[in-house]
C-alpha cells in the first residue's frame, strides 16, 4: 500500500520553479532540488519522474503565473504607449536580478532540448501576440501612427524585451534600462522613412 503524499505538489513545483530560475537547469542537481524542496530523491522521482520532467512542469507553472501576469499587464486599459512602458519597466524592476525564467532557459538550453524549446517558443509567441494586440489597439486609438508596421514593430519590441531581460539579470543600471525603453517607444511614434 502506497503512503499518501505529505506535500503539496503545486507548492513543490512553485519552489522548484524558483530554484531553476535562480540557478538554471544544468547547475541544479536532484540533490539541490531535494534540499530546497524538503523532499527525498525517491519522492521526487516517484512524483515527477526525473529532473527534466520537473523542469518542464516548472516552465509550465511559470507560464501560467508570471507570463500570465505579464500578459494581463499588457492588456490593461489606457493609452497603449503608457501601458507598454509600464509593462517594460515592471519587467526589469519587479524582481531585479532574477531575469525571466523563459529567457534564461532559452539562453541556457537553446534548441538543444526539443521539449523545452516547445515551451519557450510558446511563451515567446504569447508575448508577440499580446504585443501585436496592444500595438493594433494603439493604431486604432490614434495613439500610434496609422502607418506603423505592426509586425515589424513587434519583432523590434520582442528583441528589445529579450535584451532588457538579459541586462536586468546581469544587474545593469535600471536607469539605463529605462532610457533604452523610452528610446524604443519613441521609435514607434516616429513617421516611417
Encode pLDDT of 100-142 as tens digits. Answer: 899 999 999 988 999 999 999 999 999 999 999 999 999 999 9
Q: Full-prediction pTM beyond 0.75?
A: yes
Q: What is the pLDDT of residues 27-44, one digit of tens each?
A: 999 999 989 888 888 888
Predicted local distance difference test score (pLDDT) of residue 192: 61
Within a 10 A sphere around the Cβ of 62, how many other Cβ atoms? 23
Residue 44 in domain: no
Q: What is the mean pLDDT of the chain?
A: 89
Residue 154 in domain: yes
Give the max Cα distance, the chain: 73
Residue 105 in domain: yes
Give the phi and the psi of residue 54 in degrees, each rounded to 5. Answer: -65, -40
Q: Return the CATH number at 145.
A: 1.10.357.10
> Is 60 exceeded by the pLDDT of residue 18?
yes
Domain range spanning residue 81? 60-189
Residue 27 in domain: no
Residue 185 in domain: yes
Residue 157 in domain: yes
Predicted local distance difference test score (pLDDT) of residue 5: 53
Residue 39 in domain: no
Total count of domains within the chain = 1
- Per the CB < 8 A criterion, the answer to whether 102 and 120 are in contact is yes
Residue 2 in domain: no
Amino acid at each position: 500500500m502506497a503512503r499518501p503524499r505529505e506535500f503539496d505538489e503545486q507548492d513543490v513545483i512553485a519552489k522548484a520553479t524558483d530554484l531553476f530560475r535562480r540557478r538554471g537547469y544544468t547547475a541544479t542537481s536532484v540533490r539541490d532540488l531535494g534540499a530546497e524542496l524538503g523532499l527525498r530523491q525517491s519522492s521526487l522521482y516517484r512524483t515527477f519522474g526525473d529532473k527534466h520532467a520537473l523542469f518542464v512542469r516548472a516552465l509550465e507553472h511559470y507560464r501560467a503565473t508570471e507570463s500570465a501576469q505579464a500578459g494581463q499587464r499588457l492588456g490593461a486599459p489606457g493609452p497603449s504607449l503608457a501601458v507598454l512602458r509600464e509593462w517594460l519597466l515592471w519587467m526589469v524592476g519587479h524582481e531585479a536580478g532574477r531575469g525571466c525564467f523563459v529567457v534564461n532557459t532559452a539562453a541556457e538550453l537553446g534548441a538543444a532540448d526539443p521539449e523545452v524549446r516547445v515551451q519557450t517558443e510558446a511563451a515567446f509567441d504569447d508575448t508577440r501576440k499580446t504585443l501585436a494586440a496592444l500595438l493594433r489597439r494603439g493604431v486604432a486609438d490614434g495613439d500610434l501612427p496609422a502607418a506603423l508596421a505592426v509586425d515589424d514593430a513587434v519583432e523590434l519590441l520582442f528583441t528589445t524585451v529579450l535584451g532588457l531581460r538579459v541586462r536586468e539579470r546581469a544587474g545593469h543600471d535600471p536607469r539605463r534600462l529605462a532610457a533604452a525603453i523610452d528610446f524604443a517607444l519613441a521609435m514607434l511614434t516616429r513617421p516611417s522613412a
